[in-house]
């Protein structure tokens, strides 16, 4: 009889897991619908209006957080968003390096005119090599327990 009770608990746990997966999938679907609507609007906006509406800030946040779906969709609708800069004169490539977002590099890699991204300096005079030499954010190092392995990953 105890085994039957344990199976009921396992079944309840499985139901909770499936329910959570379903909710996450539905949320993702809704976000994709919102993104689709946003893309339609973005394609019709001028660059000045995009800057005023914080579209550039949204691109930089997407880079920092590695949200490649958002970046790819926005890039497809308006390639000018790839030129977004923050107040420190750091663009999307610098933020991808600073936040160790490897997935973002795949999107950037296809761009023909890479000089726009690689030749710039931020307000402190740092170029991309200086930014790459900085230690990665803690969240990228938390996955690695040993200090020597963290250093190896960074190199």
Higher pLDDT, 10 or 34: 34
Structure tokens, 22:
């379903």
Instruction: Kindly list the domain boundaries of the chain, sorted by start residue.
Output: 43-154
Q: Is the whole model's pTM more than 0.75, yes or no? A: no
Per-residue pLDDT tens for 109-140? 766 666 666 667 889 998 888 888 876 766 65
Q: How many residues does the chain have?
A: 155
In CATH terms, the superfamily for domain 43-154 is: Ankyrin repeat-containing domain (1.25.40.20)
Residue 3, pLDDT above cutoff 70 = no
Distance CA 125, CA 127 (A): 7
Is there a contact between 99 and 64 (Cβ–Cβ < 8 Å)? yes
Per-residue pLDDT tens for 83-100? 888 999 998 888 988 888
Largest interatomic CA distance in the chain: 72
DSSP string, 54-69: THHHHHHHHHHHT-HH
DSSP 3-state of 153: helix
Residue 144, pLDDT above cutoff 80 = no
Per-residue pLDDT tens for 35-74? 888 888 888 888 788 878 888 898 999 999 998 888 888 8
């Amino acid at each position: 009889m105890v085994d039957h009770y344990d199976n009921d608990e396992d079944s309840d746990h499985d139901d909770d897991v499936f329910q959570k997966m379903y909710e996450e999938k539905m949320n993702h679907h809704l976000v994709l619908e919102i993104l689709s609507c946003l893309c339609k609007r973005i394609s019709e906006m001028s660059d000045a209006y995009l800057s005023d509406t914080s579209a550039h800030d949204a691109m930089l946040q997407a880079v920092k957080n590695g949200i490649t779906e958002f970046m790819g969709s926005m890039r497809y609708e308006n390639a000018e968003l790839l030129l977004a800069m923050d107040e420190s004169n750091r663009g999307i490539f610098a933020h991808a390096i600073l936040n160790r977002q490897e997935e973002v590099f795949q999107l950037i890699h296809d761009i023909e005119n890479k000089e726009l991204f690689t030749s710039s300096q931020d307000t402190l005079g740092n170029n991309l090599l200086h930014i790459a030499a900085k230690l990665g954010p803690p969240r990228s190092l938390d996955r690695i327990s040993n200090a020597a392995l963290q250093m190896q990953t960074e190199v």
